[in-house]
Each structure stands twice: as structure tokens, then as C-alpha cells.
């Protein structure tokens, strides 16, 4: 049931929770009950679960803001269950939903908090603060001397992250860091944060109650049931393809396959060959190409092989219409888009297939509904297989590997519609991924 | 009226001296009361029950009529500056203590959590975060205490305390005599003026000392 709650040893567990329990005074039941979890180095591990499942309590036990009733906590192999809590916390960045910037201090002083406690010299602190502001996309010249109230919510959250990273701790603990922020800014912050993580490679424990955020942000997700019982601890793709039990299935909700489509990119699946002809070609040679092929249509492309029109035999009958205006317009899909985007495009355009293009806009194949469906089937099967045979076989399904392969940019692509099955309207959010003024 | 003006100019040095003594008594009392209140507040503000007890105790002292409190000082501290100073300090406690507790409690819990989460220990949190954030509320308590104490300090004259109360008492005792009314009026006027002046000074001080980010 709690498969994967401890690692298979392939990656080093930077944080290890061992039989952790917490009972609050005056309560009959454990708020956290016998939780064991390995957090691998350099990964984002998401704790996700319904309200009251103990996510926050778990997170706060890792930095010992809450002392466990029993069990042990290891950090970098060292038992930190009973070391000095304040010193321990200086080794872990901590970001909360309400951020908690110190309102009476400038942004610069806020960020300098931990370095100051660690006794860094002024010059080093100054340099570091500037570096961090740059890192989170805020101009030090503009913002260093400002006060928290002079920033937008999104900017405050960035400063919160910068402050947590100040002394370069190996660990970052984040409790619903983006929950209080409007959806568009949230998507932007998520993307920026993933981008940042490709640079900083911290070990991150990230609490959310939002499964979509979990899928988007997580290298691994721990789905917590009541009292922090681990219902499943796995990669997003495995959880989507093979939920361990009914609770997980419920939690993922309907449309698990749809969500999963965000994990795979058009470039990762097998594209169909399709007959193409230059849009300037003779009508007869197009007709001949159509006859040679087993497909019902031909794709007309321009000189740079950019898709122009879909034409079938009937279109070719109308001799009076020039080829460039025959048939149907050919919408295109970038190779970097996700299967989710592709499906969305097909449903919107009411065509069962769509042309895929590379960075230059040149045609590189066709993706159709069957390809998407087959990809879903394949993902499910592979994930199930790996999931059942977890003993010695490779831990991650092939597709999950592909997902991991491209690091930031792969997941960057999954931003589109990462949250809403509304797909289209998320483009704006992702496209606006720059900085906010 | 011109009589009164004459009186004022004739007794200028004396009145000025009395006023300064009065102000000094008040300032000593407030400074001491602030230190004591903040110390008590820091010890009790996180414990609901203990805080309630401390406030109740200080509140009880506050309700003792001032004349009675001054009288009570005599057997312990005798007459003069000392008992006056101590009685005034006791009076000044309540507003400052109450405001300090309120101020410390009203610090945003997220701010405290993040401070804690970064490994600030209690003392550091208190000094760097909680007291600075509570400061505007604390200084308001000091202001209330000060203005109030300026008035009560006049009564300290009953136990030979320094300040403007002396003239006031003397004038009242000799009312009907030539300058008695002038003595009373002048001291009342100066007490009021002193209270207003303190009020203004606190306003300015509050503005100057409140951290920029929380105004
Ligand atoms: N300080 C506390 N004293 C007593 N009980 C507590 C305390 N903190 C949390 N609990 C209880 O422990 C359980 C887990 O709480 P926790 O805050 O960890 O949940 P959560 O998963 O973070 O929920 P949410 O999604 O609502 O933030 C809850 O039943 C809560 O009432
Ligand atoms: Mg929580």
C-alpha cells in the first residue's frame, strides 16, 4: 500500500523521516501516525492531501517547529531529532503561504536575516542579497531598499523564496507557498520556481492541497490520507497512471488521464507520416500523391515546408478553386506542446488530427486522436507493470523517464493547462511568464 | 487679569523651576514604569492566564485613589521625592503594561512563524521583531500614562513631593489671601500646558520612532 515510501537506494535520501508520530496535547488520536518518508536529494517532493491530513504538521516537524512525539528525523545522514532546533532551522529554508516578511525591515534586511545570524560580513551579505534578488527576477536597484508593503503579492512571495535561500541551505520547506496568489500570477510563479530549481537543485518539500499543482511541481508526490498515512508515494506519472487505491483515485479526481497528458510531449510520441505536396504543385500530381497513399488526404506545404491546407479527393474535384484555397486550413502544433494541448487542439478544430511542426514551423509529422489514445494506453500499461513489479525492476516507467529527461523545459511545457482542463486560457498565463512589474 | 500677568512675570523663575521639577518627576516615573511594564509584559504575554493576573494586579493598584496611595507611601518611604516617584510609577504601569501586552500579541503570527522558521531564538525574535512591531502601541500607552501622570503628580505635594502641586496646595489653603488665586491658577495652567506639551512631544516621537515599513 505505502509502496515507495522509502527509497530504493538509487538516489540519496537527504531527509529521512522514520516512524514519525505526533500527538497534540489533549487529543486522543495521533495527528501524524507513524510516518516514514525518504526525500531524495535535489528533488521536489510534494505532500498533498485533504485538509487536516497533517501536511503542515509534517512539514513543521521536519524543521522541528513542532517536536515529534516519537520517531526520528535525519538530515544528510545525521540524526537531527534532538539537536538545537534554532541551529537546525538555519539549515533549512522555510516559506509559508502568508510569507511573513518582516514589515519593519527593508527587503534587503529581510533577505539578510539568516546570513546575519550566521555572522557573515556585511560585504558578503550585500553581494548575496543582490544575487538572490536577481535570481528571483527582481531588480536589486529598485527593490532592495523597499519595504514589504510596497510590493505586490507575487513580489513578496519571491522575496520570501529569496529569504529562504539566503544562506544557501540544502533544504527548502514550502507550505502552500503559492496558494494565496491569483491564478495567473500563481502559474507564473510556479514556472519561475521550476526554472529556478533547475539552477539551484535544492531538496524541496512542498505542501499543497492542489493535486494539479502537485503534478506540475513534483518530482515525487506523497499523497497523504488522514494522520499523514501515505496512500501513495511516487512520481506524478505513476500516480496518474496507476493510482494505488481508491483514495488516491478519488483524490486525483476524474480526468486522471487528461492530467497525465500534461506529462508527455508531442515530441515524445510517435508521429504519423503523411503525404505532403508543395502548395504550388499541379493539381494532377497532388491527385497522384493522394492515390499512392493510404491516407484520405494530402497536406499542402509552402516552400519552407510549413503546413498550409488539408485537401482530399473531393476538394481536388473543384477545378475552379486554386489549390492554396482548397480544402481545410491546417492548424499546427509545436513539438514542445503536450499531448493535452494536442488533444485540446483537435477537439477545438473538430479535426481528428493535427500537423506538428518544429521550431522553424516546418512540418514534422501528424498526431491524431488514435495516437493520443494509444499513448494513454501505453502509459497506463507501463506504469502498472512497473508498479506491480516494483521489487527489483527499474523503478520508473519508461515514460516517466522521458518526462524527467528534459528537466525544466519538459515540465515548462506542461504549464499549459497544468491546472484547468480549460486548456486554452492557460496559454496567456504561461506566455506571460516574464517578470511582473 | 493684568494682576495675574504681573504675578506670572514676577514669579517666573520660581514657576519655571516648579514646572521643570514636575516634568522631571513625571519623566522618571514614566521611564521606570516603562521598563517595569515591558519586562512584565514580556514575561506574561504568551500566557493568557498569567497575563490576566498581572493585568488585574496592576489594575487594582490603578484604582486606589491617588490621595490614598500617596498617604500609603509615607510609612514606607517617608516624605519627599521618593514616595511621590514610586506612587506615580505605580499609576503609570497599567496603560503601558496593557498596551505592551496588546502590542506584542498583535504581531502577525505569520511573521513570528517565519522568524522562528529561520532559526531566530526567543530573545532575538523579541528584540528584533516583536518589540519593534509592538512599539507604536507601546508608545501610545506611554503617552496616555504620561498625560495622566502629569495631573496626578500635582497631588504629590501632599507628601511634600516636588513640582507644581506645592503652589496649588498652598494657594488653595490660603484662598481669599491676595495672591492665593493666582498661585492656584498659575499652577493649573502650567500643569495643563505641560500635559499638552508632552502630548505633542509623544506624537512627534511616535512618528519619528515608528519603523518606516509599518506606518
Ligand atoms: N497546534 C495544534 N494543536 C492541536 N492540534 C493541532 C495543532 N496543529 C494541528 N493540529 C491538528 O492536526 C491535524 C493536522 O493539521 P495540519 O495543519 O497539519 O493539517 P493540513 O494537512 O496542513 O491541513 P490544511 O490543508 O487545512 O492546511 C488537524 O486535525 C489539526 O486540527
Ligand atoms: Mg496546512
CATH number, position B15: 1.10.3720.10
CA B127/CA B123 separation, integer angstroms: 6
What total number of domains does chain B contain?
1
All three cell numbers of A338: 503536450
Verdict on whether the full-model pTM lies above 0.80 = no
pLDDT at A411 over 50: no
What's the pLDDT score for residue A257?
61
Taking an 8 Å cut-off on Cβ atoms, the answer to whether B213 and A87 are in contact is no
Specify if B117 maps to a domain.
no
CA-nearest residue to B108 within chain A is: A100
CA A103/CA B110 separation, integer angstroms: 11
All three cell numbers of A216: 506540475
pLDDT at A131 over 80: yes
DSSP 8-state code for residue A28: S
Could you report the per-residue pLDDT of A272-284, keeping only the tens digit for each?
889 999 988 888 8
Give me the sheet containing A44-48, strands edge to edge: A92-96, A171-175, A203-208, A44-48, A220-224, A230-234
Phi, psi values for residue A71, rounded to 5° = 105, 175
Q: Which tops the pLDDT comparison, A369 or A344?
A: A369
Taking an 8 Å cut-off on Cβ atoms, the answer to whether A86 and B121 are in contact is yes
Atom of ligand 1 nearest to the CA of A47: 21
Specify if B149 maps to a domain.
yes
What distance in Å separates residue A65's CA from the closest CA in chain B?
7
pLDDT at A421 over 60: no
Q: Which tops the pLDDT comparison, A407 or B136?
A: B136
Taking an 8 Å cut-off on Cβ atoms, the answer to whether B110 and A99 are in contact is yes
For the segment B37-50, the average pLDDT, to the nearest whole number, is: 96
The answer to whether residues A101 and B110 touch, using CB atoms and an 8 Å cutoff, is no
**Nearest alpha-carbon partner for B133 in B111, B148, B152:** B111
How far apart, in Å, do the first and last CA atoms of chain A sit?
Answer: 47
Q: Which residues pair with A307 in a beta bridge?
A: A301
Question: Cβ contacts of residue A347 below 8 Å, gap of 6+?
Answer: none
pLDDT at A389 over 70: no
Candidate from B113, B119, B213 with C-beta closest to A90? B119
Q: In which element (H, E) is residue A354 found? A: strand A353-357
Mutate which of A47, A53, A176 for ligand 1? The one with the most ligand atoms within 8 Å of its CB, which is A53
Could you report the per-residue pLDDT of B86-136, keeping only the tens digit for each?
999 999 999 999 999 999 999 999 999 999 999 999 999 999 999 999 999
Domain containing B65: what range?
2-107+133-209
Query: How close is the Cα of A90 to the center of ligand 2, in Å?
Result: 22
**Nearest alpha-carbon partner for A48 in A200, A201, A174:** A174
The mean pLDDT of chain A is 82
Query: How close is the Cα of B156 to the center of ligand 2, in Å?
Result: 57
Q: In which element (H, E) is residue A92 found? A: strand A92-96
**ipTM, two decimals:** 0.90
The answer to whether residues A13 and A205 touch, using CB atoms and an 8 Å cutoff, is no
Question: Cβ contacts of residue A336 below 8 Å, gap of 6+?
Answer: A265, A266, A267, A409, A413
pLDDT at A151 over 50: yes
Q: Radius of gyration of chain B from Cα atoms?
A: 20
Among A122-126, A309-313, A315-319, name the one with the lowest average pLDDT: A315-319
Burial environment of residue B3 by CB neighbours within 10 A (0 to 12, 13 to 18, 19 or more) = exposed
The answer to whether residues A45 and A222 touch, using CB atoms and an 8 Å cutoff, is yes
The answer to whether residues A173 and A92 touch, using CB atoms and an 8 Å cutoff, is yes
Residues B68-81: b if buried by 16+ CB within 10 A, e if exposed: ebbeebeeebeeeb
Contacts of A102 in chain B (CB under 8 A): 111, 114-115, 129, 213
Among A256-265, A394-403, B140-149, name the one with the lowest average pLDDT: A394-403
Nearest-10 Cα torsion for A370, A375, A376, A378? 120
Q: Which tops the pLDDT comparison, A330 or B118?
A: B118
Taking an 8 Å cut-off on Cβ atoms, the answer to whether A88 and B119 are in contact is yes
All three cell numbers of A257: 488521464
All three cell numbers of A369: 486522436
- Strands A92-96, A171-175: pairing is parallel
Specify if B204 maps to a domain.
yes
Contacts of A159 in chain B (CB under 8 A): none
Mutate which of A49, A52, A179 for ligand 1? The one with the most ligand atoms within 8 Å of its CB, which is A52
Q: Nearest 5 degrees, angle CA A273-CA A278-CA A281?
A: 130
- Lookup result for grid cell 529598485: A142
Determine which residue's CA is closest to atom 17 belonging to ligand 1.
Answer: A56
Query: How close is the Cα of B135 to the center of ligand 1, in Å?
Result: 32
What's the pLDDT score for residue B164?
93
What's the pLDDT score for residue A144?
96
Q: Which residues pair with A72 in a beta bridge?
A: A18
Q: How confident is the model at residue A387 (pLDDT cuts 50, 70, 90)?
A: low
Specify if B121 maps to a domain.
no
**Nearest alpha-carbon partner for B147 in B85, B202, B69:** B202
Give me the sheet containing A13-22, strands edge to edge: A32-40, A13-22, A70-75, A78-79
pLDDT at A286 over 50: yes
CA B63 from centre of chain:
15
Query: How close is the Cα of A63 to the center of ligand 2, in Å?
Result: 15
Among A65-69, A223-227, B178-182, name the one with the lowest average pLDDT: B178-182
Specify if B195 maps to a domain.
yes
CA A231/CA A47 separation, integer angstroms: 11
For the segment A425-437, the average pLDDT, to the nearest whole number, is: 34
What's the pLDDT score for residue A382?
67
As residues whose CB is below 5 A from the ion ligand 2, the structure lists A 56
Q: How confident is the model at residue B139 (pLDDT cuts 50, 70, 90)?
A: very high
pLDDT at A176 over 90: yes
CA-nearest residue to A59 within chain B is: B117
Taking an 8 Å cut-off on Cβ atoms, the answer to whether A103 and B108 are in contact is yes
Amino acid at each position: 500500500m505505502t509502496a515507495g515510501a522509502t527509497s530504493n537506494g538509487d538516489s540519496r535520501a537527504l531527509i529521512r523521516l522514520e516512524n514519525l508520530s505526533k500527538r497534540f496535547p489533549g487529543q486522543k488520536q495521533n495527528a501524524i501516525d507513524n510516518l516514514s518518508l525518504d526525500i531524495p536529494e535535489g528533488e521536489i517532493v510534494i505532500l498533498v492531501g485533504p485538509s487536516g491530513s497533517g501536511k503542515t504538521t509534517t512539514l513543521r516537524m521536519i524543521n522541528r517547529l513542532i517536536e515529534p512525539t516519537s520517531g526520528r528525523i535525519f538530515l544528510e545522514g545525521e540524526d537531527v531529532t534532538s539537536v538545537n532546533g534554532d541551529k537546525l532551522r538555519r539549515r533549512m529554508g522555510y516559506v509559508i503561504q502568508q510569507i511573513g516578511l518582516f514589515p519593519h525591515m527593508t527587503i534587503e534586511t529581510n533577505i539578510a536575516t539568516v546570513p546575519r545570524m550566521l555572522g557573515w560580513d556585511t560585504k558578503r551579505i550585500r553581494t548575496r542579497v543582490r544575487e538572490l534578488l536577481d535570481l528571483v527576477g527582481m531588480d536589486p536597484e529598485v527593490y532592495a531598499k523597499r519595504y514589504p508593503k510596497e510590493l505586490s503579492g507575487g513580489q513578496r512571495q519571491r522575496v520570501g523564496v529569496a529569504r529562504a535561500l539566503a544562506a544557501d541551505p540544502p533544504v527548502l520547506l514550502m507550505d502552500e507557498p503559492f496558494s494565496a496568489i491569483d491564478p495567473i500570477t500563481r502559474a507564473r510563479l510556479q514556472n519561475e520556481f521550476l526554472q529556478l530549481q533547475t539552477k539551484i537543485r535544492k531538496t524541496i518539500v512542498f505542501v499543497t492541497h492542489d493535486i494539479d499543482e502537485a503534478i506540475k511541481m513534483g518530482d515525487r508526490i506523497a499523497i497523504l490520507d488522514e494522520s499523514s498515512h501515505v496512500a501513495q508515494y511516487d512520481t506524478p506519472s505513476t500516480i496518474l497512471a496507476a493510482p494505488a487505491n481508491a483514495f488516491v483515485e478519488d483524490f486525483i479526481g476524474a480526468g486522471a488521464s487528461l492530467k497525465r497528458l500534461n506529462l508527455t510531449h508531442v515530441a515524445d510520441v510517435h508521429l504519423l507520416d503523411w503525404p505532403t505536396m508543395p502548395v504550388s504543385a499541379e493539381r494532377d500530381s497532388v491527385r497522384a500523391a493522394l492515390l499512392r497513399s493510404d491516407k484520405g488526404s494530402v497536406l499542402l506545404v509552402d516552400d519552407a515546408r510549413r503546413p498550409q491546407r488539408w485537401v482530399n479527393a473531393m476538394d481536388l474535384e473543384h477545378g475552379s478553386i486554386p489549390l492554396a484555397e482548397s480544402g481545410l486550413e491546417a492548424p499546427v502544433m509545436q513539438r514542445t506542446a503536450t499531448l493535452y494541448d494536442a488533444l485540446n487542439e483537435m477537439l477545438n478544430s473538430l479535426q481528428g488530427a493535427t500537423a506538428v511542426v518544429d521550431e522553424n514551423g516546418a512540418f514534422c509529422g501528424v498526431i491524431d486522436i488514435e495516437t493520443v489514445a494509444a499513448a494513454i494506453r501505453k502509459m497506463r500499461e507501463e506504469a502498472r507493470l512497473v508498479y506491480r513489479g516494483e521489487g527489483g525492476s527499474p523503478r520508473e516507467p519508461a515514460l516517466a523517464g522521458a518526462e524527467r529527461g528534459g528537466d525544466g523545459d519538459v515540465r515548462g511545457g506542461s504549464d499549459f493547462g497544468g491546472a484547468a482542463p480549460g486548456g486554452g486560457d492557460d496559454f496567456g498565463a504561461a506566455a506571460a511568464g516574464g517578470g511582473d512589474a | 487679569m493684568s494682576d495675574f500677568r504681573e504675578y506670572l512675570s514676577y514669579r517666573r523663575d520660581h514657576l519655571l523651576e516648579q514646572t521643570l521639577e514636575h516634568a522631571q518627576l513625571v519623566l522618571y516615573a514614566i521611564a521606570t514604569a516603562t521598563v517595569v511594564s515591558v519586562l512584565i509584559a514580556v514575561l506574561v504575554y504568551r500566557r493568557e492566564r498569567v497575563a490576566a493576573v498581572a493585568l488585574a494586579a496592576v489594575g487594582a493598584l490603578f484604582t486606589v485613589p491617588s490621595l490614598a496611595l500617596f498617604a500609603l507611601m509615607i510609612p514606607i518611604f517617608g516624605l519627599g521625592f521618593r514616595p511621590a516617584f514610586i506612587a506615580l510609577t505605580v499609576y503609570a504601569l497599567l496603560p503601558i503594561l496593557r498596551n505592551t501586552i496588546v502590542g506584542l500579541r498583535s504581531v502577525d503570527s505569520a511573521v513570528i512563524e517565519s522568524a522562528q522558521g529561520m532559526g531566530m531564538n526567543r530573545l532575538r525574535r523579541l528584540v528584533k521583531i516583536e518589540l519593534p512591531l509592538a512599539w507604536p502601541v507601546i508608545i501610545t500607552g506611554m503617552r496616555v500614562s504620561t498625560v495622566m501622570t502629569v495631573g496626578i503628580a500635582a497631588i504629590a505635594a501632599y507628601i511634600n513631593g516636588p513640582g507644581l502641586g506645592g503652589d496649588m496646595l498652598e494657594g488653595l489653603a490660603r484662598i481669599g489671601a491676595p495672591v492665593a488665586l493666582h498661585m492656584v491658577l498659575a499652577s493649573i495652567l502650567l500643569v495643563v500646558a505641560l500635559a499638552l506639551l508632552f502630548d505633542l512631544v509623544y506624537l512627534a516621537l511616535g512618528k519619528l520612532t515608528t519603523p518606516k515599513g509599518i506606518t
